[in-house]
């Protein structure tokens, strides 16, 4: 599959570009970025070319991989779909429900495949655990701690300069990760509430369609010593804890690429397609509304 990359930031440099360039089933056909010199440098490092415009890149590929802020992603994804290209999107699909639904509608009309990259869902150990717990059932409640230190005083994170993370905070950055674990195990959320904690910290509470309840503590400002990810389920068989990731995000992204290739080849939607991505956006928007934020339903 010929895949073009949109984006030149830390996530594109660390994950997208090297994985796409090394994937045996992919030809990295080119890179576009809002900063032309950065696109040229990244393209040279991975043996491909930089494109002057997104549309020129779309014309040269079969699918597009997105490593850009969500508001930029949504508008560019619609243009890619209109060119008939499959989509490998990052989370969240968008930060408004209307934008997310517009992308999904355009993709459905064009008949293209889509995969949204939720790191935990494509992790080898985490993905298998999620599937096993969903099959086991009988869960009464669950809690997720998704605590990052991106904006902590002692942070050295390359993502600390991200304007959209500064604006939208943990709810929109790590909230999708928590939901990508909780929803497939406990079912869709029927009600959503949220409360604010320190800085950008958000306390999220969900009631799921089968009656289970879950909660999540989300933050990008946790002290480094307190940061980390834990998800615990409690039910009829006792407790179960999400296994820790053994490697960085690169192997998970490789599997997301595999999933897009399979969806495009077979025509069968992947569970982490735009439909799921839109639902995550809808839940986050409900939480934001409960916090007194934007209202875009």
Among 274, 267, 269, 282, residue whose Cα is nearest residue 88: 274
Query: What pLDDT, in 10s, does the model give residues 188-235?
Result: 999 999 999 999 999 999 999 989 999 999 999 999 999 999 999 999
What is this structure's pTM?
0.95
Angle, vertex CA 198, rays to CA 232 and CA 294, nearest 5: 90
Report, as an integer, the average pLDDT of 115-119: 97
Strand 202-208, strand 213-219: pairing: antiparallel
Q: CA-to-CA distance for 112 and 84, rounded, in angstroms?
A: 7
Report, as an integer, the average pLDDT of 22-51: 97
Sign of CA pseudo-dihedral 145, 149, 151, 152: positive
Q: Is 115 left (phi over 0), alpha (psi -120 to 50) or beta?
A: beta
**Given a cut of 60, is residue 297 above it in pLDDT?**
no
Residue 123 has a CB neighbour count (10 Å cut-off) of: 22
Produce one character per residue of 199-222: b if its CB has 16 or more CB atoms within 10 Å, e if not. Answer: ebbbbbbbebeeebebbbbbbbbb
Q: For the chain, what percent of residues have pLDDT higher than 90?
A: 92
Q: For the chain, what percent of residues have pLDDT higher than 70?
A: 98
For residue 42 the two structure tokens come to 């990244």
In the chain, DSSP finds a helix count (H) and a strand count (E) of 12, 11
Strand 202-208, strand 189-196: pairing: antiparallel
* pLDDT for the residue 127: 96
**Given a cut of 90, is residue 44 above it in pLDDT?**
yes
Angle, vertex CA 172, rays to CA 171 and CA 176, nearest 5: 95
pLDDT band at 294 (very low <50, low <70, confident <90, very high): low
Report, as an integer, the average pLDDT of 114-121: 97
* pLDDT for the residue 247: 80
- At residue 110, what are phi and psi to the nearest 5 degrees? -85, -15
Query: What pLDDT, in 10s, does the model give residues 80-91?
Result: 999 999 999 999
Helix 70-82 with 163-173: angle, nearest 10 deg: 90
Q: CA-to-CA distance for 297 and 286, rounded, in angstroms?
A: 8
């Amino acid at each position: 599959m010929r895949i073009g990359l949109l984006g030149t930031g830390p996530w594109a440099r660390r994950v997208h570009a090297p994985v796409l360039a090394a994937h045996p089933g992919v030809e990295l056909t080119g890179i576009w970025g809002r900063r032309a010199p950065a696109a040229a440098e990244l393209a040279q490092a991975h043996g491909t070319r930089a494109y002057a415009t997104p549309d020129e890149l779309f014309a040269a590929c079969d699918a597009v991989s997105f490593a850009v802020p969500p508001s930029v992603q949504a508008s560019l994804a619609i243009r890619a779909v209109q060119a008939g290209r499959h989509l490998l999107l990052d989370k969240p699909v968008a930060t408004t429900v209307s934008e997310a639904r517009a992308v999904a509608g355009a993709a459905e009309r064009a008949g293209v495949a889509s995969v949204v990259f939720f790191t935990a869902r494509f992790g080898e150990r985490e993905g298998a655990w999620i599937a096993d717990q969903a099959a086991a059932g009988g869960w009464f409640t669950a809690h997720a701690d998704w605590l990052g230190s991106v904006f902590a005083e002692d942070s050295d994170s390359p993502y600390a300069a991200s304007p959209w993370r500064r604006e939208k905070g943990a709810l929109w950055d790590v909230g999708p990760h928590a939901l990508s674990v909780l929803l497939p195990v406990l079912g869709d959320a029927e009600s959503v509430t949220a409360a604010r904690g320190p800085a950008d910290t958000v306390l999220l509470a969900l009631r799921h369609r089968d009656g289970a309840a879950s909660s999540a503590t989300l933050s990008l400002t946790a002290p480094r010593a307190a940061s980390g990810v834990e998800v615990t389920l409690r039910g009829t068989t006792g407790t179960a804890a999400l296994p820790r990731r053994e490697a960085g995000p690169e192997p998970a992204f490789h599997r997301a690429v595999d999933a897009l290739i399979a969806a495009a080849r077979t025509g069968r939607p992947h569970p982490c397609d735009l439909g799921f991505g839109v639902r995550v956006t809808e839940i986050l928007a409900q939480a934001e509304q409960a916090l007194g934020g934007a209202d875009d339903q």
